[in-house]
């Protein structure tokens, strides 16, 4: 075993960073045995250096992150501060000074991953980011390495624990969105500002990363169609139940049938209760990967949290350190295919549409004509009068697969009918 330790700089010491530092300290002998050399925490960059950080020597703590990554004797930089800047500058500076980088920064990778990959390639360094997508769930490495010789056609999954918890509570207890969000916040599953989760930004960033790896093409956050769960109602959940479905926020990355383009999208969707993703409860994540030779693979586990994320970070740290010792490099960016990302309007989907209509003869025929005029075929339809003194009827239509643009145009045309009093809900249907 090499006696000279490999030096590690840690950027960020929050929930994940502190757990990384703890594991590095308490499992130092095991890590050294697995790597082939001791690993030394050489510095920890934080925003405020005043408070005591258990298990970390005060002399290691600094507020000058730039000086830490510029030292020249750092072998690996672990970045867990998040955000685009200053993380991007710090990471590229680390590469310039000979360090490899392990990051959990999904926002930066989805926004400008190409810059990081190019900098790593230029300076002969490694860039690892398993923790950026699904915390402890091994997903990035299987896509980058295990399936490198296969053709991946689809990646479908639940990649945000907060939204899955909320939707699961709405389904299992009958709670409304606000009630379920309050419970998620109280239990620590949702941030004080849950926007990134409930509006789909977090899942969209992960979808961009997964699509880029799976399809060997550069996919940015702006390429991903994004819808959150804030408009999902208890009525939507109940309607899904009547269809034998449940509602999940899905990240879906697909290769076109002709292989010439890809799509990436995040939105709530109804999926059959028989689908394996329907049984993913609370804050867990699960992802299906469909490949030509390997078939369907499922990855399941906790997709967030300090310990699970730290586990993924340490796995990448071991890989980066091993490469430092052997003088080799891990896989870099593979974007040779350069497949374009098609807009959402070209995606072929199914819709579940609930309409409030006048309760009189001919309404169903009138609505069916609108679907026909836009080239959308109806799979099932259910019409029923409303109970009590409320006048009118409810018309629920589930379509066959059609271009999303045609489905959207159909809904707008339905809104213009005199007999349609309103569109109660619209949701896509997946997983048939």
- What residues are annotated to the active site? 206
Nearest to 251 by CA among 235, 230, 228: 228
Query: Residues 163, 169, 172, 175: is their CA dihedral positive or negative?
Result: negative
Q: What is the distance of C-alpha 274 from the center of its chain?
A: 23
Nearest to 283 by CA among 384, 391, 191: 191
Are the CB atoms for 132 and 104 separated by under 8 Å?
A: yes
Q: In Å, how far are 158, 211, 253 from 266, measured between CA atoms? A: 10, 12, 9
Q: Helix, strand, coil proportions of the chain in percent (round to 5)? A: 40, 25, 35
For the CA atoms of the chain, what is the radius of gyration? 24
Which residue is listed with tokens 């209509």? 357
Which residue is listed with tokens 């593979």? 334
Q: In Å, how far are 49, 103, 120, 160, 212 from 94, measured between CA atoms? A: 21, 12, 9, 30, 24
Which residue is listed with tokens 């956050």? 221
Distance CA 279, CA 248 (A): 10
Residues, the chain: 432
Q: In Å, how far are 3, 39, 77, 130, 202 from 28, measured between CA atoms? A: 13, 7, 17, 21, 33
Are the CB atoms for 313 and 121 separated by under 8 Å?
A: no
Half-sphere exposure of 75 (CA within 13 A, CB side): 22
Q: What is the distance of C-alpha 155 from the center of its chain?
A: 11
Q: What b/e sequence results for 241-258 when a residue is b if at least 16 CB atoms lie within 10 Å of its CB, and e otherwise? A: eebebbbbbbbbbbbbee
Distance CA 30, CA 24 (A): 9
């Amino acid at each position: 075993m090499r006696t000279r330790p490999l030096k590690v700089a840690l950027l960020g010491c929050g929930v994940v960073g502190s757990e990384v530092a703890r594991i590095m300290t308490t499992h130092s002998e095991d890590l050294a045995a697995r790597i082939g050399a001791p690993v030394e925490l050489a510095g920890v960059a934080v925003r405020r250096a005043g408070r005591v950080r258990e298990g970390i020597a005060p002399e290691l703590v600094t507020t000058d992150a730039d000086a830490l990554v510029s030292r020249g004797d750092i072998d690996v930089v672990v970045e867990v501060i998040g955000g685009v800047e200053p993380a991007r500058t710090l990471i590229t500076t680390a590469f310039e000074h000979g360090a490899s980088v392990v990051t959990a920064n999904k926002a930066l990778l989805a926004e400008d991953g190409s810059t990081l990959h190019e900098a790593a390639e230029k300076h002969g360094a490694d860039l690892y980011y398993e923790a950026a997508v699904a915390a402890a769930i091994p997903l990035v490495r299987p896509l980058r390495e295990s399936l490198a010789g296969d053709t991946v056609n689809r990646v479908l999954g639940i990649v945000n624990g907060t939204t899955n918890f909320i939707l699961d509570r709405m389904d299992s207890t009958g709670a409304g969105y606000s009630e379920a969000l309050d419970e998620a916040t109280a239990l620590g599953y949702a941030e004080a500002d849950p926007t990134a989760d409930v509006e789909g930004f977090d899942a969209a960033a992960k979808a961009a990363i997964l699509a880029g790896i799976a399809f060997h093409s550069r996919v940015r956050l702006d390429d991903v169609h994004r819808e959150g769960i804030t408009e999902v109602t208890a009525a939507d959940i109940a309607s899904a139940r009547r269809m034998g479905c449940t509602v999940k926020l899905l990240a879906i990355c697909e290769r076109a049938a002709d292989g010439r383009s890809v799509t990436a999208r995040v939105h709530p969707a109804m999926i059959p209760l028989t689908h394996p993703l329907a049984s993913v409860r609370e804050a867990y994540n699960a992802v299906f990967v469909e490949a030509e030779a390997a078939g369907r693979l499922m990855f399941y586990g906790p997709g967030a949290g300090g310990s699970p994320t730290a586990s993924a970070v340490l796995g990448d740290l071991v890989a980066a350190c091993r490469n430092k010792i052997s003088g080799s490099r891990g896989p870099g960016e593979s974007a040779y295919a350069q497949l374009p990302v098609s807009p959402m309007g070209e995606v072929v989907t199914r819709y579940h549409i609930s309409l409030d209509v006048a309760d009189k003869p001919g309404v169903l025929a009138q609505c069916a004509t609108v679907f026909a005029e836009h080239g959308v075929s109806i799979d099932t339809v259910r019409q029923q009068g409303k109970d009590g003194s409320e006048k009118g009827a409810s018309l629920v239509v589930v379509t066959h697969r059609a271009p999303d643009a045609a489905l959207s145009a159909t809904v707008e045309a339905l809104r213009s009918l005199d007999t349609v009093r309103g569109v109660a809900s619209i949701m896509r249907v997946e997983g048939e």
